[in-house]
Amino acid sequence: MRSELAWAAPRAAAAMVLAMIVVAVGLMLRAVPAAGAGELRLDLILAAHVSPVGVHGAQVLGAVLEPAGGLVLMVVCAALIWWRQNRWQAARFAAVAAFGWLSVEPVKLLVHRPRPVLPNVHAAAESWSFPSGHVALVTAFVLGLVLVTTGRSRAVTIIFGSAAVIVVALSRLTLAVHYPSDTAASVVWVGAVTVIVMSGMRVVEAANIDRATRRRRAGTAGADTQPILIDGVRQD
């Protein structure tokens, strides 16, 4: 635990730098619209080659992962983790998933990057483009599950979770509501936020363990110093 704590601050600092780089890239992309025009080639390729069934699937997936659906998904999963494991693991999952997902909203407002504009495609004007909230939700959800699983379960979570992130990212590009850099930024941003959150939780966990150890030692010491009584007579 001490070795983990020794690395907590450097890891958190590196993650903060990475998060600032993501924001800086977003501001640069907003300031240079030509960069976004180059990115739209992938959106155009997907829009041209994905079948109507695939487009409908992308629309359904996008609707399911809207804020209300994402919140329900996280609450249900946290409850299952509490039931199958313990409340601490449920708290780890909830903290990572919630902070990773919700933290993209301030970035959206700060960067203020408009949605892509393509012919015959309705741009989602109700929110900003960078980074993708849907990809952030799935990435945060997967990372939360990775942190509360071990062994084969963790390997399976990483494999299927990575596939889920890719599928959601491609679905958002197919609908032309994001640039590719928006989806990539979500993965990097959520990863950085996860490191920061976990560093803080490890500090809290270590403090709780240290407090419990001191109490246990104090209780043992108190028991050792208690006088021994036989028939009410102290035995020294």
> Where are the chain's structural domains?
40-205
How much is the pLDDT for 20? 95
pLDDT for 56-97, tens place per residue? 898 898 888 888 888 999 999 999 999 988 888 898 899 999
Q: Which whole number is the average pLDDT over 26-53?
A: 85
Q: Which whole number is the average pLDDT over 184-213?
A: 80
What gap in Å lies between CA 187 and CA 138, rounded to an integer?
A: 9
Q: pLDDT at residue 221 above 70?
A: no
Percent of the chain with pLDDT over 90: 42
Phi, psi of 232 (to 5 degrees): 80, 0
Q: pLDDT at residue 46 above 90?
A: no
Highest mean pLDDT among 114-118, 121-125, 203-207: 114-118
177 forms beta bridges with: none
Mean pLDDT estimate for the chain: 83
- Do 100 and 22 meet the contact criterion of CB atoms below 8 Å apart? no
Q: pLDDT at residue 207 above 70?
A: no
Q: What confidence category does residue 194 fall into, taking pLDDT thresholds of 50, 70 and 90?
A: very high
Q: pLDDT at residue 206 above 90?
A: no
Alpha helices in 32-150 (DSSP H): 33-49, 52-64, 67-84, 87-102, 104-111, 133-147
How much is the pLDDT for 120? 56
Distance of CA 201 to the CA centre of its chain: 14
